[in-house]
Structure 1
């Protein structure tokens, strides 16, 4: 305990010995350091591609047209989409327009695509390992919010395979042709 020393007859200011407080401070610091839990590093899970040693190089990155859905993000929160990968500009796909809305929006399109792929698997057109694949192509006029919303839709609808890829000039021509046919 701290003692107050009084010498002689003169009254001086009392002197308190604070040496034990240093020991108490170190004990508290040691206690809190040993009892705290360190934050664990957070890491995203990524799905690495399956490596098949028997697969040829030309077949490694091929996406089947029946399992693919291409989503084009554009200005004013418009979403253009078509089935397949749209690699043949001489035979353009049927491009549709939708928005992020509850009824007849992009969510319904994704659900229908999953059902279509499942029916093709049950008919034997696709293999049992095949899944719906969504190619997301944001245009330079689209917003970051639209990209985040479409990625949320992939998670909500449990789309197993999707990729954000650069939009091609052919896809931009599809958007222009669809806008010209359906002015809004």
Structure 2
């Protein structure tokens, strides 16, 4: 509330001189209102909910065979690199192994091209020891973005490790 100090009444017959009064504004009610509004908006706001990805894991049992012609294998490696080849394993020849990144013009285009050629194809995701958890999450995100129906997280085989070593040489 505003406070205006008042002066004592002047003696009779003398016209009081106009004095400048100091103005003091009490900010307490405005601060109270600000905190009430802040509390109201904090309690009524919906906070961002964490997004989770549904991954259906298979039941323990016999392994499902995958066709050589209808598969794409992704090898997640260090430095945000994705090595891929069509089929299960191109053998010791590293010529069939291609490399891309997680960029929109990288892995996404490979997956879209594979899905156009093989609508019922299976993508095998094999993270290496040097890849990060973020690489696997990015690969799973790309599966959702490109609407891949069948994909699996698979352990890296000895043949795949040999292929990557031959590629490094």
> Structure 2-normalised TM-score?
0.61
Q: What is the match of residue 113 of structure 1?
A: 114
Deviation, structure 1 residue 102: 2.4
Q: Is the 8 A contact 1:75 1:141 kept in 2?
A: yes
| Partner of residue 177 from structure 1, selected from 157, 166, 169 | 166
Question: CA deviation digits over 1:79-108, x for unaligned, max 9?
Answer: 00000011x7366670000001122x0000
Q: Is the 8 A contact 1:82 1:93 kept in 2?
A: no
- Count of aligned pairs between the two proteins: 116
The RMSD of aligned alpha carbons is 2.6
- What's the secondary structure of 2:65's corresponding residue? coil
Runs of 4+ in 1 over 4 A off after TM superposition: 42-45, 90-93
Q: Is the 8 A contact 2:125 2:151 kept in 1?
A: yes
Q: What is the match of residue 132 of structure 1?
A: 121
Q: What is the match of residue 12 of structure 1?
A: none
Gaps of 5+ in 1: 1-41, 50-56, 119-130
- What's the secondary structure of 1:62's corresponding residue? coil
Q: What is the match of residue 130 of structure 2?
A: 141
The answer to whether structure 1 residue 46 and structure 2 residue 35 are counterparts is no
Q: Is the 8 A contact 1:69 1:82 kept in 2?
A: yes
- Structure 2 CA distance for partners of 1:89 and 1:145, relative to 1, 3 Å: same
Q: What is the match of residue 65 of structure 1?
A: 68
Question: CA deviation digits over 1:133-153, x for unaligned, max 9?
Answer: 100000010000000000000
| Partner of residue 152 from structure 2, selected from 152, 155, 163 | 163
- Structure 2 CA distance for partners of 1:97 and 1:91, relative to 1, 3 Å: closer
Gaps of 5+ in 2: 1-51
Q: Is the 8 A contact 1:79 1:97 kept in 2?
A: yes
What is the CA–CA distance in structure 2 between the aligned matches of 1:43 and 1:71, rounded to whole Å? 20
- Structure 2 CA distance for partners of 1:157 and 1:177, relative to 1, 3 Å: same
The answer to whether structure 1 residue 89 and structure 2 residue 102 are counterparts is no
| Partner of residue 101 from structure 1, selected from 87, 100, 103 | 103
Structure exhibiting the larger radius of gyration computed from Cα positions: 2
- Structure 2 CA distance for partners of 1:113 and 1:106, relative to 1, 3 Å: same
More strand by percentage:
2
